[in-house]
Structure 1
Amino acid sequence: MNLIGIGRAFAVLISAATFAFLFLHDSWRGDNLFLVPDLILCVLLPVSAALPARYAAPALAFTFAMCTGVFTASVSSYAVRGELGAASLLGVAGCAAAAALLQRHLIVQGRPR
C-alpha cells in the first residue's frame, strides 16, 4: 500500500473515531467548544480521502494539519484541567506525522528529476 492509500485509511479511521467519541462522551452539547471543529474534521477527512490521488495528497496533508491544530487545542484543554487527553494526544501524534509525511511526499514529487 502506498503513502496516499495509508493516508486515506488513516483519515477514515480518525474521522470515525472522532465521530464515535462525540457519542461516547456526550459531546453533542451546545457548550462544547470542540463540537463544530470536530464535525468539520469528520466531514473533511473522508472527503479528502475520496478524492483522486492527484488531489488527495494535498487535501489530506491540509486536513491532517487542521486535525493537528484541533487536537492540540483539545490536549491543552485537558492539561489545563489537570487531565491527560490520551485520545487527543494520540490524534495529535498521528495527524502531525501523517501531515508531515504527505507534505514531504508532495515536495519530493514536485522536484525535477
Structure 2
Amino acid sequence: MTTAPRLVNIGRAVAVVLGLTTFGFLFVHGSWRADNLFLVPDLIICALLVVAAVLPVAAAGPALVFAFGMSAGVFTTATAAYAVRGEVGIATLIGVAVSALMAWLLVAHRPGSRAA
C-alpha cells in the first residue's frame, strides 16, 4: 500500500526545504568544521531528504518516512546538545517538530494504517 500522492508531494516539498535549509545552516553558522560532531550526520540527512524527494511516488513515500525519521533523530540529539549547554536550539527544535510530524503524517495516512 502506498501513501496518498498529494501527501507525498507535500512531503517532497518539505524535505527539499528542510534539506537545503540544513545545508545552508552549516555555512551561515560556521558549522562546516572538522570538530563539528554534527557535520556528517547533517550532511547525511540533507542527502537523504533531497534524494527521497526526487524518487518516484511509490518509492518516495517510504523513503521520505525514513529520511524524516533520521532527521528527527539527528535534530533531537542536536536539540539535547544545546540543552546540555544551557542553550535553546530553536532551529533544531523546529527541525525535530517538522521531521517528526511529516514522518507521522506519511505513515498515518497510508491506507489501512492505524497510526492516526
TM-score after normalising by structure 2:
0.90
* Pairs aligned (count): 110
Other-structure match for 1:60 = 64
- Using CA pairs under 8 Å that are at least 6 residues apart, name the structure with larger relative contact order, 1 or 2: 2
Counterpart for residue 15 of structure 2:
11
- Matched residues in 1 for 2:29 and 2:51: separation? 25
Tell me the distance in 2 between the aligned counterparts of 1:64 and 1:29: 24
Q: In the TM superposition, what are the counterparts of 1:1-113 in structure 2 within 5 Å?
A: 2-106=6-110, 108=111
Rounded Cα–Cα distance in structure 1 between residues aligned with 2:53 and 2:12 = 5
Structure 1's unaligned 5+ residue stretches are none
Q: Secondary structure at the match of 2:109?
A: helix
Shift of the 110–103 alpha-carbon distance from structure 1 to 2, 3 Å rule, reads closer
- Alignment gaps of 5+ in structure 2: none
Cα RMSD of the aligned pairs, angstroms, is: 1.6
Q: Secondary structure at the match of 2:23?
A: helix
Which portions of structure 1, spanning 4 or more consecutive aligned residues, are displaced by more than 6 angstroms?
none
Instruction: Name the aligned partner's letter for residue 103 of structure 2.
Output: A
Identity score, percent: 56
TM-score when normalising by structure 1: 0.92
